[in-house]
Amino acid sequence: MKVLIIGVNTRSGLAMVRHLARQGFEVIGADHVSYPYDLRSRHIKRYYSFSCEDETGIVEQISGIVEQEKPEVLIPLKCSRELHRHRKYLDQVSRVLLPDQEAYLAADDNARMLEQCAELGIPAPRVLSLDDAIALIKGDEAQRVVVKPRVDVGGARGVHIVDKVPLLEKYVDRVGATFGDAIISEYVPGPPTAMRSLNLLFDRGTTLRAAFTYSKIRQWPVTGGIVGSCVSVHETQVIDMVLPFFRKWNWRGPAEVEYKWDARDKVPRLIEINPRYSGNISFALSCGIPFGVLHCQAAVGNPLPDRDAHQYRDGIKGLWFYFYLKSVLREFGTSRSRMRLLASELAMLRRVRLDLADNLLDIAPVAGFILKVLKDRKKTG
């Protein structure tokens, strides 16, 4: 089966490329970010670069690639906001597995998503007005609130945990100016290990066909962001808890649910729903949940087994070396018991699944990324 993946130079895109190629799929890649010297994954048979200056141009360029390559399945891991508006057209020229535009917007808009959770009885932080947030902080010095972009931009960019009124007003203005609009919500207390990422895949009939959950161990920045290390867990009660949202919108395709176990009452509270795969989908793939293969089969309408057909073990540890190392070094610099910390980390590293192995075997995109970063830094200063 020939598959066109949009966004092959993202972490999720690279993971999906490697996964599908190993399963015998012919992978065609496209991205608006290209690396120097045409460096790309060795698993990509052909690669196309496109620009993303405007929505019409994106759709026209991708349509041109589809017309030339005639892939059986199109997987958009980048430019999804633009492509969702043209889902019906794209599904005619290839096969795409995406929620419709209204469903996509219902998840992508953080304020709207949290308000819907309240309506559906799904535990989640309340959305606060600026006045309510100020009153909350003034009423209790221990209270904190979260300021973040209304639409998720990934990597915890623009997310601020605030406990002072002057900082609240400052960050609301800054996030709004940078990302278009800001929302304020309640803060859910708890350590990084209380955070979960749940990846889901729904078929064309809106039936859940695959699920995978991991718990964070380390993250960067340490206040909340990209996972540095994690461990696989099963929390089926949370899957059942969030399903009403997806049933309401007749969801098709992938979604990532981020939730956190509240330290106050031990209730899992939904933080975000991202209408796409997690950037760390490689971990789920390495644990035996074949999201890429299932995605392609579902896109063309092939029958799929129940979601429980693909199992994984609790306790599998994953590590993304760059972000893990930054987190450890930050703690090591402030720790009063460095030997204990070192012993703890060495114990954690036993039998961990590193992202280094895949990157060493398929090093061209890694080298390309590094060269691009150096080139961009040289331009800026």
State the pairing for strand pair 160-162/226-233: unpaired
Other CB atoms within 10 Å distance of the CB of residue 210? 25
Asked if residue 295 lies in contact with residue 267, where contact means CB atoms within 8 angstroms, the answer is no
Asked if the structure places residue 108 within a domain, the reply is no
Residue-level pLDDT at 334: 81
Asked if the structure places residue 364 within a domain, the reply is no
pLDDT digit string, tens, across residues 302-333: 999 888 888 999 999 998 888 888 998 888 88
Q: Are residues 38 and 90 in the same domain?
A: yes
Asked if the structure places residue 54 within a domain, the reply is yes
Q: Are residues 13 and 89 in the same domain?
A: yes
Asked if the structure places residue 304 within a domain, the reply is no
The reply to whether the predicted model has a pTM over 0.85 is yes
Residue-level pLDDT at 381: 61
**Residue 49 sits in a domain of what CATH number?**
3.40.50.20
Below-70 pLDDT ranges, the chain: 354-356, 380-381
Asked if the structure places residue 110 within a domain, the reply is no
Q: Are residues 94 and 10 in the same domain?
A: yes
Q: Are residues 55 and 137 in the same domain?
A: no
**Residue that terminates a domain, selected from 167, 186, 205:** 186
Residue-level pLDDT at 355: 65
Residue-level pLDDT at 149: 95
Query: What 3-state DSSP class applies to 204?
Result: coil
Q: Are residues 27 and 94 in the same domain?
A: yes
Asked if the structure places residue 200 within a domain, the reply is no
Strand order in the sheet with 160-162: 127-128, 182-186, 145-149, 160-162
Best CA proximity match to 195, nearest among 159, 245, 248, 249: 159
φ, ψ for residue 181 (rounded to 5)? -165, 150
Residue-level pLDDT at 281: 95
**Residue that terminates a domain, selected from 152, 169, 186:** 186
Asked if the structure places residue 208 within a domain, the reply is no
For the chain, how big is the Rg over CA atoms in Å? 21
Q: Are residues 87 and 156 in the same domain?
A: no
C-alpha distances out from residue 122 to 13, 239, 256, Å: 31, 11, 16
Q: Are residues 67 and 11 in the same domain?
A: yes
Total of domains in the chain: 2
Q: Are residues 90 and 24 in the same domain?
A: yes
- Domain assignment of residue 44, given as a range: 2-98
From CA 309, how far away is CA 201, in angstroms rounded? Answer: 13
Structure tokens at 359: 């990157």
**Residue that terminates a domain, selected from 98, 114, 149:** 98
Task: Look at the chain and count its residues.
Answer: 381
Asked if the structure places residue 180 within a domain, the reply is yes
Asked if residue 200 lies in contact with residue 254, where contact means CB atoms within 8 angstroms, the answer is yes
**Residue 179 sits in a domain of what CATH number?**
3.30.1490.20
